[in-house]
Amino acid sequence: MDKNVGSIDKIIRIVIGLALLSLLFILQGNVRWFGLIGVVPILTVVTGWCPVYSLIGVNTCRSKKS
């Protein structure tokens, strides 16, 4: 499992994940549980790997020069 999530991508994912998680506190009723979807982008930041990026062949990490 090679890392495929770059640093700018990580910042964007953290912001989106936290925004989605905030729905748990803002919305009322059963709709608020959709905010748990915010866990997914945060997990991709923690692991540095996105399964969707692997499927479509995207890599936002900077390549290391040898």
- Does the pLDDT of residue 63 top 80, yes or no? no
pTM score, two decimals? 0.86
- Does the pLDDT of residue 2 top 60, yes or no? yes
- Does the pLDDT of residue 66 top 70, yes or no? no
Q: What is the pLDDT of residues 13-61, one digit of tens each?
A: 999 999 999 999 999 999 999 999 999 999 999 999 999 999 999 999 9
Rounded (5°) CA angle 58-61-65: 120
pLDDT at 65: 56
The Cα 60–Cα 47 span in angstroms is 14
